Amino acid sequence: MSTAARDNGTAGRPGAGGGAEDREIAAAGHADLSADTLTLVEAAFRERLEQLERLEQLERLEQLERLEGPVGRGRSAVVRCGAGAPPAFGRAASASGRRPAVVVPTHNGVPAMPRRPDRMAAGELLNLADQARLLPYDPTHRDSCVGADERMTATSGLLLAVWDGIPSNGRDATAHLVTYARARGVPVEIVWPAGAERGTGAAPPAVPAGPPVREPAEPPAPRYETLR
């Protein structure tokens, strides 16, 4: 597994490289999902990723037949480290032939300890991952996690959102992220299989009593290429 420091503030802007069809598939979703719901969500993720893989294979064959330059490989998958939907997406991505990239929190350039409820999921995701991407955010603070999801989404070509469809009330991070993606022209597909429900899973990160640690608008370090 390789490690990369990511996001110099330009990723995701027009002209940042490639169209939406060439960029990654990102996933995010509600944190409070039951075990039964996560099983349904994982199956839905896998079905959709396998469909996309078949489409991409056809596109690569057509490109090869037209002799239109080098044939690329399928889009990679990316998800932020955490419990709930992320490991379901990671398992589905791996089963469909895409080893995911995992966004890992850092503090002062050092990987930060995940919240206790997220640690087992973090370990599983890193075992599945092809790449760990280091991003400065506070995993214990909701708004900081939302900011990390925004940066991940802004560089993607498709967001798979585990969302119950209820509009944002100012507290629902997934509803906000769907709105954020759509406002920036990132295609969104809702993953909410029949029988899915909320309210019986892990609680989202608590907001500390004091002011949150403010992350810089852009990381002070330059962007580094993936280390291999």
- Least confident among 51-60, 120-129, 146-155, 212-221: 212-221
Please report, rounded to a whole number, the percentage of residues in the chain having pLDDT higher than 70: 73
- If pLDDT is split at 50, 70 and 90, which confidence band does 202 have? low
* Residue 118 in this model has a pLDDT that exceeds 50: yes
- Least confident among 4-18, 64-78, 87-101, 162-176: 4-18
- If pLDDT is split at 50, 70 and 90, which confidence band does 167 have? confident
* Stretch 127-137: mean pLDDT: 94
Q: What is the pLDDT of residue 200?
A: 59
Measured torsion, CA atoms of residues 122, 139, 154, 27, in degrees rounded to the nearest 10: 40
Q: What is the pLDDT of residue 2?
A: 72
Residues 6+ apart with CB under 8 A from 35: 201
- Least confident among 14-23, 30-39, 43-52: 14-23
* Residue 9 in this model has a pLDDT that exceeds 60: no
Q: What is the pLDDT of residue 224?
A: 33
Q: When comparing pLDDT for 135 and 62, which is higher?
A: 135
Q: What is the pLDDT of residue 165?
A: 94
pLDDT tens, residue by residue, 51-77: 998 888 887 677 666 665 554 556 899
* Stretch 18-34: mean pLDDT: 81
* Residue 194 in this model has a pLDDT that exceeds 90: yes
Q: What is the pLDDT of residue 221?
A: 38
Task: Write down the pTM of the prediction.
Answer: 0.78
* Residue 13 in this model has a pLDDT that exceeds 50: no
* Residue 207 in this model has a pLDDT that exceeds 70: no
